[in-house]
Amino acid sequence: MNTADVIVVGGGVNGASTAFFLAKAGVKKVVLLERRQLGAGASGKSGALVRTHYTNPIEANMAFESLKVFRNWSEIVGGDCGFESPGFLQVVAPQYEEQLRRNVAEHQRLGINTRVLTTDEILEIEPATRVDDITCAAYEPDSGFADPNATLYGFVNAARDLGVDVRSGVEATKLLAEGDKITGVETTDGAFMADNVVLIPGPWAQRLVAPLGLEFDLEPRRVQVAVFRWPYGFDHRHPIFIDDSQEAWFRPEGANSTLVGLESGVDGANPDDIAEGVDHDYVEDCRAALSHRLPAFEHSTMRGGWAGVITMSADGRPIIDQIPAFAGLFCMLGDSGTSFKTAPAIGMGLAEWITKGEPQSFDLHPFRSSRFAEGDLWLDENAYGPHRERTISR
C-alpha cells in the first residue's frame, strides 16, 4: 500500500506548480500522478502568454503575483522557464475605451506597471501597427511569455529536488472516499492512500468525479494556433498583442516567427482523440487577423501550427476549491484556456489551503464550485463585451 500526505492528479503546469509549492511549504510526502507524459494536456500546447491585463482585479492580481514568479524564476523555482518580455499591448474596439481605462486604473492600484497608450504612443512601441480603427491600448512593459514545457519541467525538477515523487505513466482510475472524507486514489500502479487529493486532470476530470456523484459542467474545447514566418523586411521582435477587437492574439515565436491564436475553438472535443494539426481555414483566418493589425504580415509564410484541448467551465473561469462534499478533495478544474499564466498563484493558493487551512495570498472564493448552483457566475463589470465564452484572449 502506497501512502502520501498529498496526491496531485495531473502532470500539467498547475499540477506541477501545486506539487512544488506543497513541497516548498514543507509537506513531506507529495505524489504527482500523470497518466501519460508531463505536458500531455493543454500545458504542452500552450501559447504561454504571461500578462496581467484582466477585466477583474482578482484574476489580475493572481496574474501579477504569478508574473513575479516568472520574472524571478531562477531564484524562486530554479533554472530557466524561457520567460521573455517583449511587452504586451491590449487592444480594444473604440467603444470599450472607457472600460479599458477603468481596468488599467484598477491594475495600477494593484501595483502593476501598466498605462494607457494613445495611437501615437502605440506607434512608438511598434511602428508596424495599424491604428486607424482603434483609439488606444493598454501597455504592460513587464509582461511577456514563457516556454510552457520549460515552465512545467522547471516546476517538476524543483519539486523532485524537494522530495516529490513524480510518477509519469500512472493513471488515477478511481477516487477513494469513506463517507464525506477522501482517502486516496486507485491507480494503474496500485492504490495510493492520502488525506488530501488535488485533482488537476484537465479535460479528463469528469470520468474521475462522476462516480462520486459530482458534476461540474465542464466542456472540453479544441483550440488551435498557427505560426507565421516574419515577412521580408520585418526584422524586429514585436510586442505581444491581445487584439480584442478581432478576438485574436499574437506573440513572437522563436527568432523570426509569430504565433497566432483566435477565439474560434470547437466544443465537445474528445481529449483522447483530437486532430492535433491545424485546419486550413484557421490558418487563413489567423493570417487575416494578424495582417489586419500588423499589415506587413499580409504576405507572411505559414510555418506550422497545432491544436490542443482546453476545458471550459460554465462561466469561463476556473473552479479552484476544496469540494464541499468531500473533505480533503481539492481541485483546479475548467482551466478555461487562461490558466498557464496564473499557474504559480494557483499552486501557491492550493498549497496554502492544504497546509494552513485556507488560501492566504489570494482570494479563491470567487472560484468556488458552488457558484453555479448559487447563480453567482463571473460577470466582469468592465468586460469588453459579453465574453463568458472567451478563452485565451479574454
Ligand X SMILES: Cc1cc2nc3c(=O)[nH]c(=O)nc-3n(C[C@H](O)[C@H](O)[C@H](O)COP(=O)(O)OP(=O)(O)OC[C@H]3O[C@@H](n4cnc5c(N)ncnc54)[C@H](O)[C@@H]3O)c2cc1C
| Span near ligand X by CB under 6 A; candidates 39-47, 158-166, 358-366, 379-387 | 39-47
Residue identified by cell 463517507 is 179
Applying CB under 6 A, the site for ligand X has a residue count of: 40
Query: What is the C-alpha to C-alpha distance for residues 50 and 150, in angstroms, rounded to an integer?
Result: 14
Query: Residue 320 corresponds to which cell in the numbers above?
Result: 479552484
**C-alpha dist (Å) from residue 259 to 109, 248, 252, 255:** 31, 11, 6, 12
Residue with Cβ nearer ligand X (15 or 57): 15
Q: At its nearest, how many Å lie between ligand X and the CB of residue 101?
A: 24
14 lies in the site for ligand X, by CB under 6 A: yes
Contact pattern for ligand X over residues 64 through 103, marking x by CB under 6 A: ----------------------------------------
393 lies in the site for ligand X, by CB under 6 A: no
Contact pattern for ligand X over residues 135 through 174, marking x by CB under 6 A: ------------------------------------xx--
Contact pattern for ligand X over residues 254 through 273, marking x by CB under 6 A: -------x------------
| Span near ligand X by CB under 6 A; candidates 19-27, 28-36, 157-165, 365-373 | 28-36
Residue with Cβ nearer ligand X (117 or 197): 197
Query: What is the C-alpha to C-alpha distance for residues 330 and 85, in angstroms, rounded to an integer?
Result: 33
244 lies in the site for ligand X, by CB under 6 A: no
The rounded Cα 369 to chain-centroid distance in angstroms is 18
State how beta strands 196-199 and 2-3 pair: unpaired
Query: What is the C-alpha to C-alpha distance for residues 306 and 214, in angstroms, rounded to an integer?
Result: 32
Residue with Cβ nearer ligand X (84 or 97): 84
The only residue of 48, 81, 89, 290 in contact with ligand X, by rule CB under 6 A: 48
40 lies in the site for ligand X, by CB under 6 A: yes
Question: Scanning residues 273 to 332, which ones bind ligand X (CB under 6 A)?
Answer: 308, 310, 332
Residue identified by cell 506539487 is 19
Residue with Cβ nearer ligand X (39 or 328): 39
The only residue of 144, 252, 337, 344 in contact with ligand X, by rule CB under 6 A: 337
6 lies in the site for ligand X, by CB under 6 A: no
The only residue of 6, 7, 8, 9 in contact with ligand X, by rule CB under 6 A: 9
Residue count of the chain: 394
Residues pairing with 21 in the sheet:
none
**C-alpha dist (Å) from residue 78 to 10, 158, 234, 374:** 22, 7, 35, 42
Query: Residue 166 corresponds to which cell in the numbers above?
Result: 513524480
| Span near ligand X by CB under 6 A; candidates 9-17, 79-87, 276-284, 360-368 | 9-17
| Span near ligand X by CB under 6 A; candidates 101-109, 115-123, 176-184, 202-210 | 202-210
Query: What is the C-alpha to C-alpha distance for residues 374 and 328, in angstroms, rounded to an integer?
Result: 22
Count of C-beta atoms within a 10 Å radius of residue 334: 27
The only residue of 31, 47, 62, 65 in contact with ligand X, by rule CB under 6 A: 47
Query: What is the C-alpha to C-alpha distance for residues 290 and 301, in angstroms, rounded to an integer?
Result: 12
The only residue of 7, 200, 218, 383 in contact with ligand X, by rule CB under 6 A: 200
Residue with Cβ nearer ligand X (131 or 380): 380
Q: What is the contact surface with ligand X in residues (CB under 6 A)?
A: 9-15, 33-36, 40-43, 45-49, 171-172, 200-202, 204, 208, 223, 225, 261, 308, 310, 332, 335, 337-341, 392
